[in-house]
Homo-oligomer: A and B are copies of this chain.
Amino acid sequence: MSQFPANRLTLPVQHGIDDILHKITDRLHADAWRNSDGTELPGEAHSADVAIYATYFPARGDQAHALAHPEETTRIYLMSHPVTAFASTLTIDIMDGYFAQQIAPDITCDLRRYWQVIDRTTGETITPDAWQVTSVPRTDAHDFPDDDPRSQQVTVTISDTQPTHEYTVNFLAWQLWDSTQMYNYITNGWHRDPTREKERPYDTRYPATHIHQREQLDQWLRDNPHVDVVRFTTFFYHFTLVFDETGKQRYVDWFGYTTTVSPAALEAFAAEYGYELVPEDFIDGGYYNSPFRPPRKRYRDWMEFTGRFVCDRIAELTDIVHQHGRTAMMFLGDNWIGTEPYGPNFANCGIDAVVGSVGSAATCRMISDIEHVSLTEGRFLPYFFPDVFNPDGDPVGEAWTSWRQARRAIMRHPLDRMGYGGYLDLALKTPGFVEVMEEIVTEFRAIADAGTAEDPATTGVTVAVINAWGKLRSWQTHMVAHALPYTFTDGYVGVLEALAGLPVDVRFISFDEVIESQGAVLADVDVLINVGAAGEAFSGGPAWDDPVLCELIRRFVAAGGGIVGVGEPTATTGYADRCFALCDVFGVDKERGFSLSTDRHWECVPPAATLGVDVSLLGELPDHGSMIVPVRDSVELLAVGDNRVLCASHRYGQGQAWYVHSLPYSPGRARLLLGVLHAAAGRPLGGCDLPLAADPAVDVAVYPAQQRMLVANSTDQPVTTTITGVGESLTLPAHGSRWLPYPAGK
C-alpha cells in the first residue's frame, strides 16, 4: 500500500497539541496518524507527511439519521430475570436489571412472534394468549416523549401460572446507546462535555440506513480528501455488551450475535432457510449462545446467514472507499460481529487491512494470522485513557507487559504495523513513556522487517487445535471479553498463549472437518490438542458422543499421530462407563465419584528423556480443579498432585497421547507444552536442532536465510542462559532482546 512507508508506526493524535505533534512524530519515525473515538484529527492532518487514518462509524455517530429513523434502531434479544410464581398470576418487570439508557423493549413489533414467555421450570413456551404486555410512561427522567414506545415501563403479566414455576420473557429490544461509545463516555466523564451525544446505533438491515450509510460514506470521503485510511470501527453489529441499571457491565460476549436480530433479518432468514427462528434460539436459556456452548445447528445457520449479509454490506462500503482511492481498514472489535476474519466470506469483503487490540500473544496472533488482507496492525496497550494514565496507574509497566506478550507472537508471525490509541497528550505528559515507545517501536521494526522477509523457522511440528469451532475461532478459544482473564479459563487460555509464541506450526480444525473429510484433514497434522472443561464447545462435549469422530481420532493416533488433552478433554455425558470419550486413548479419566472404589497407583516415571525439558517445570503445574485419575495400567504418570494426574503419557498403537491438567501461561509451562507436543509427535524435543534457550524465559526466533536469530527475554527480570549451539552464556536485561548470528558462532 502506497500510503505506508516502512516506519510501521501509527500515532493517535488530537487537536491542540500541534506544536509537539511533529516533534514526536519525527522522534518516533511514525508514518501514520489516527484519531480515536472522541478525538478529532488536527487541521495539520491535511498537509502532514504521514498517512492519515480516520475512524469511521457506519452504524452510529449520525444522530440526525438515528433520530429521524427510530424504527431502524439496532435491536437486541434479551431475557428478563427469571421470576418465580407463588400464585396463579405473575407480573414481570422485564427491564429489571437492565439500563434504561441503553435498552428499551421493542413493543412495536409483532409481540406474539418476536417475544416469548417460557416456563423455565418445565422448559415450555407459554401460549401468547396467556400473557399480555402492559406499558405505562416511565416516571423517571427519560429522553423521549411520554407517548413514545421507548419511554415506557413495560411489564408482562402471565395468567394461569403454576406456583413455584419460574418464568422469563424473551424480548426484542432497541439499543438506544452504542455499547462502546457508552463505555468510553462513562470512562471519560463526557457527561461534562455538552457537545457529546449518546450515540444511537442504526441497522443496515433497514432501507433508509442502508442507503444513508453508502451516501454518507461517499460524502465523507469527498469532504475528507486528506484521509488515506478509513479505519472502520467497525461495521454494523456490536458484540454483546449489556449494562445493568447502575451502568455497570452485566453481560459481555465478544463473540455474541444477539445484536444482529431484527424482524427484517428474521423474516429474510425464514425465507432463505425455510424455517423460522424463535426468540429462544437467541436467548438459549440465558446463555445467549456463548461460544462455550456446543453450537446448535439453528444458531450456526444464523451465524452463516448473518456473516454472509454483513460481508456483502461491507463490500458495498469498501467499494466506495476504493472508488475514492483510499484504503479500507477494519478495527477487529466493537461492531465486528459477522465480519469473522477467519470465516468463509471475509476474503470477499474488500478489506485491505485489519487493526486490532493486542491484549496478549494469542490476540496478537489472532490479528497477524488473518489472511486476505494486505496489512495487519496491532494497537498496543495501554490505551491512552485516564483509567491508566493517572498518578496511581503504571502506563510504563503496562507498555512493557504488552510488548513482552506481543513480541512472543510477533517473533512467530509479525504484524505489519503497530500503533497506539487514545489521547496522545496523556502519553506525552507521562515521564518516560515516550522513551518506552521509542524502544519498543525500534525493536518492533527490526522483527517485522525480519519476519516479513522470511517466516522464522519452526521445529517442523504441526499442531492442530481441535474443537467445535475450528478455523472460525482461530486464536479465539476460551475468550469471553477481549483478552480479559477469567479464573475458569486460565488453564486453557494459557495453552493458546503458549502456542502463540512457540516455534511450531499451529492450525485450528473443527470436529466437523474431521468427520466430513473422513480424517483426511489430519493428513499433515502431527499433534492434535483438545483443551477445555467438560461439556463445552472447546473440549467438545456432545461432539464426542459421535462414534465416527471418536473412531477417526483413535485411528489417527493409532497410526502414529499425537494427541494432547488439557483439562477435561473429550469429556461428555454420553457414555455409561467413562467421562472422557477417549479415556482409552489418554489412559486417564475424570473421577465423578463412581470409581472411588478402585485403588489408584500414583507412582511416577522419570520424565527427563521423554520430555526433553527441565523436569522441574513439571512442578509448575497447578494442583487444583477436577480429580483426573489413571484408568489404564499402561498410562505413565509424569506428575501427580492430590488425587490428581497433572501430566501423563500413554502409548496408543503407533502413536502417543499426552494429558496435562491445566496450563495457565508462564514461560516454564510454555516450554513444558513444547516438550509435550514434541513427545506426542514422536519427536522428542531433545533431538530438535532448532536453537532453544536453556531458560524458558528466553524465546528464540531463527531466520535461516538472513543467517541470524533473535533471542528475547519474555519476563520482567534479567535472565542469564545458554542457547543451543552458542558457546557462551548470555545475559539479557528485563524484557531485553539481542540479535545473534545463525548458525551460532558463524
Q: Is A514 close to B, CB under 8 A?
A: no
Q: Contact between A285 and B577 (Cβ–Cβ < 8 Å)?
A: yes
Kindly report how many copies of this chain are found in the complex they form together: 2
Q: Contact between B252 and A595 (Cβ–Cβ < 8 Å)?
A: no
Which residue of B121, B290, B551, B558 is within 8 Å of A596 (Cβ)? Answer: B290
Q: Is A72 close to B, CB under 8 A?
A: no
Which of A123, A286, A597 has most chain B Cβ within 10 Å?
A597
A84-B288 contact given A487-B643, A599-B248, CB 8 Å threshold: no
Q: Which residues of chain B are near A653, meaning CB under 8 Å?
A: 84, 86, 164
Q: Contact between A251 and B599 (Cβ–Cβ < 8 Å)?
A: yes
Q: Contact between A480 and B596 (Cβ–Cβ < 8 Å)?
A: yes
Q: Is A64 close to B, CB under 8 A?
A: no
Write out, one digit per residue, whether chain A residues 282-299 have a CB within 8 A of any chain B CB (1) or not (0). 001111101011000000
Which residue of B240, B251, B551 is within 8 Å of A164 (Cβ)? Answer: B551
Q: Is A699 close to B, CB under 8 A?
A: no
A120 to B101, CA, bound (A): 57
Which of A82, A164, A487, A591 has most chain B Cβ within 10 Å?
A164
Which residue of chain B is the closest to A478 with respect to CB atoms? B593
Which residue of chain B is the closest to A163 with respect to CB atoms? B558
Q: Which residues of chain B are near A251, meaning CB under 8 Å?
A: 597-599
A536-B594 contact given A123-B575, A627-B488, CB 8 Å threshold: yes
A443 to B550, CA, bound (A): 63
A632-B577 contact given A164-B558, A533-B593, A594-B287, CB 8 Å threshold: no
Write out, one digit per residue, whether chain A residues 582-604 have a CB within 8 A of any chain B CB (1) or not (0). 00100000011111111100000
Q: What's the nearest-Cβ distance from chain B to residue A45, in Å?
A: 39
Q: Contact between B643 and A290 (Cβ–Cβ < 8 Å)?
A: no
Q: What's the nearest-Cβ distance from chain B to residue A297, in Å?
A: 15
Q: What's the nearest-Cβ distance from chain B to residue A465, in Å?
A: 17
A selection of 25 A-B contacts at a CB cut-off of 8 Å is A81-B633, A84-B584, A86-B558, A121-B547, A121-B551, A164-B555, A250-B598, A250-B599, A251-B599, A284-B576, A285-B577, A286-B598, A290-B593, A290-B596, A292-B593, A292-B596, A480-B597, A487-B627, A487-B643, A488-B591, A488-B593, A488-B627, A534-B592, A535-B592, A624-B624
Residues of A within 8 A of B (CB): 81-82, 84, 86, 97, 120-123, 163-164, 166, 240, 244, 248-253, 256, 284-288, 290, 292-293, 480-481, 486-489, 532-536, 547, 550-551, 554-555, 558, 573, 575-578, 584, 591-599, 624, 627, 632-633, 642-643, 652-653
